[in-house]
Amino acid sequence: MARGKGEEGPHPVDRHVGRRVCEKRLALGYNQSDLGRALGLTFQQIQKYEKGANRISASKLWDIARFFKVDIGYFFEGLSGAQIAGMAEGGAAYEHDYPATRYTIEIGRLAPQLSTRQQKLALELIRELADGGEDEAA
């Protein structure tokens, strides 16, 4: 059976590393094709890496880290043994287990440029929009 299929799905570490690759790629303004070209891969392979469906080999992770100009440990930041054990046993998702998009990353990048008052207003707006979205779906 292919990795990422069935009941178990991708390993939590593979998902975390893939998410970190995706977040960094978006933060630097690259698309999947850009990263794929730099690594000699297709954008489809980058998609699989980012979802955790395919594991990233050590040498490929090294290449990605060099391309992004980050330490290899960057991709593992935020992991702890307890979190991995809990995830493997069907426990709660990571606190940051949200779909990283260009928009969420840009919001996070721009927010510190706002005054504290503006940050509070933006947060209230986002909360209101999020709550309104749930009401409409119900």
Q: How far apart are CA 66 and CA 80, in angstroms?
A: 24
Q: What is the DSSP string of 71-128?
A: -GGGGGTT--HHHHHHHHTT-PPPTT-S---HHHHHHHHHGGGS-HHHHHHHHHHHHH
Q: What is the pLDDT of residue 42?
A: 96
Q: What is the pLDDT of residue 26?
A: 87
CATH of 12-76, one of 3.90.78.10, 3.90.550.10, 1.10.287.110, 1.10.260.40: 1.10.260.40
| Extents of the domains making up the chain | 12-76, 102-132
Q: What is the pLDDT of residue 138?
A: 46
Q: What is the pLDDT of residue 100?
A: 67
The pair of structure tokens assigned to 86 is 């809990």
6: part of which helix (H) or strand (E)? none
Question: pLDDT in tens for each of the 138 residues of the chain?
Answer: 345 455 578 888 998 999 999 989 988 889 999 999 999 999 999 999 998 999 999 999 999 999 999 999 999 998 876 556 555 555 544 455 566 677 887 888 788 899 999 999 999 999 999 888 555 544
